Structures are given as structure tokens and as C-alpha cells.
A = this chain, B = another copy of it.
Amino acid sequence: MYVLNFKEREASEVPLEGATKTTMRWLIGRRTGAKTYAMRYFEMQPGGKIPIHSHIEEHEIFVLNGEAKVLGECEVDVARKDDVVFIPADHPHGYDNTEGREVFSFICVIPLLGEG
């Protein structure tokens, strides 16, 4: 069992091709004892973007600050503070803060698949 401030975890650029001005921190993952799913923290600066992409891992997201356009097929096209976003497996998605003035930050939970 552990408690820590998210800032204690190192931030690194999101490695996805085309992603800009966006960092990620691993908060809970395999290395710290998680077996089924992992929690990460994302911060997208104004002007930042994660382009549309898809993968087998579903996402469970909670928005902590700011707002961004949601890319991909969705009834709601903006996600803002206090919003929940559920992205099923293989559903194309992305986030666009290129016209935003605030940092868009969110928690994103993904499944831990395979042995990697």
C-alpha cells in the first residue's frame, strides 16, 4: 500500500507519433504491484495534441483540469474538468488542446496485457 503525490513520479513525453506538448507519468503499474490495470497521469499544454489512434487497450479517463476536443466518433466532442471518458477497445480516439488556453490534465487507466 502506498500514498504519494503524482508529482513524485517522473514525467516523460508521450511516445505516440504526432503527439505534441503532452507528458505522462506512471502512477500505478506493474513495477509497483499492479496486476490487472495501470493508472497514468497526462498533462497536455495549450497547443498540445494526441492525434487519433486506436489499440486493443480500453481507456477509463477522468479529467482533472481544463478541456480539450475529443477526436473520434463520440456524441460529445469536448471533455472538460470533472468529465469521465470511456473508450472501448479498438475505438479510434485522440485529444486536441491546440485552441485551448488551459492545461488539459487527466487520469487514464489501461489494462495490463500480456507479459510485457
Chain A positions near chain B (C-beta within 8 angstroms)? 1-7, 27-28, 32-39, 58, 60, 62, 64, 70, 72-76, 78-79, 82-89, 91, 93, 107, 109, 111
Set of chain B residues within 8 Å of A7, measured between Cβ atoms: 82
B3 touches A88 (CB 8 A): no
Copies in the complex: 2
Given A34-B60, A39-B62, residue A84 in contact with residue B28 (CB < 8 A):
yes
Known: A5-B83, A35-B89. 18 other contacts (CB 8 A): A1-B72, A1-B74, A1-B93, A2-B75, A2-B84, A2-B85, A3-B75, A3-B84, A5-B84, A6-B84, A7-B82, A27-B60, A28-B60, A28-B86, A37-B111, A38-B60, A39-B109, A62-B62
